[in-house]
């Protein structure tokens, strides 16, 4: 049964309180929070003014995905905003091993994300240190994009790598995840699913979350 993390970015920002109540009622495990700086990706999202108030009402752990340049500057900041899991991008980190260590020292779970063009083999030397790898199944920066089919092969390759050195590694998928492709992702080796539009644009978001849990 995979971890399900609805993505805050897809919620109706005029009704965030209602969205958090739905998340709390639902079978969702985490709340996925996308942070974008307008530089690493061509979009800007949110930070402390949104996250801190939501942390007070959301009962699920915050799965925070930093799509920013120089993420080391912000590790303490997002810890203070309530991050439980902190994901940095491989492509944004010059000293990735050091960054992973710094996240763990702050008491958060450490994760690394890969863009669609980045090979999972590049994580070989840090894989034993990681709690999670987030594989982007769309190009990051915008919601509602089409799922990239090569993701299944990437997941299977990463799971085979992890089984040798870090069998408890969580493999999370973000981008275009829905009730149709979720079972195939889980079969390939994924065990955490981020879902944005599939959840928040549905007539019955809680039913979609329950369906993803069964993937």
> Residue 116's domain is classified under what CATH number?
3.20.20.70
Lowest mean pLDDT among 43-47, 72-76, 179-183: 43-47
pLDDT attached to residue 47: 83
pLDDT attached to residue 142: 67
Percent of the chain with pLDDT over 70: 99
Domain span holding position 138: 3-213
pLDDT at 180 over 90: yes
Count of domains observed in the chain: 1
CA distance 75 to 178: 30
Catalytic residues: 34, 174
Q: Which of 64, 183, 81, 165 is nearest to 121 (CA)?
A: 165
pLDDT attached to residue 144: 66
pTM over 0.85: yes
């Amino acid at each position: 049964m995979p971890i399900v993390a609805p993505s805050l970015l897809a919620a109706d920002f005029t009704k965030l309180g209602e969205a958090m109540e739905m998340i709390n009622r639902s079978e969702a495990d985490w709340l996925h929070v996308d942070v974008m700086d307008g530089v690493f990706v061509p979009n800007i999202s949110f930070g402390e003014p949104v996250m801190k108030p939501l942390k007070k009402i959301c009962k699920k752990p915050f799965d925070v995905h930093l799509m920013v340049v120089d993420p080391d500057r912000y590790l303490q900041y997002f810890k203070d905003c309530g991050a439980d899991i902190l994901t940095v991008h491989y492509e944004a980190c010059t000293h990735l091993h050091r960054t992973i260590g710094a996240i763990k020292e702050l008491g958060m779970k450490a994760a690394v994300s890969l863009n669609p063009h980045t090979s999972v083999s590049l994580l070989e030397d840090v894989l034993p240190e990681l709690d999670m790898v987030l594989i982007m199944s769309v190009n990051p920066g915008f919601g509602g994009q089409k799922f990239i089919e090569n993701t299944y092969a990437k997941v299977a390759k990463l799971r085979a790598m992890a089984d040798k050195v870090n069998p408890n590694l969580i493999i999370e998928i973000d981008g275009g995840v829905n009730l149709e492709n979720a079972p195939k992702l889980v079969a390939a080796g994924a065990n955490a699913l981020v879902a944005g539009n599939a959840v928040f644009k549905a007539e019955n978001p809680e039913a979609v979350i329950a369906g993803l849990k069964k993937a």
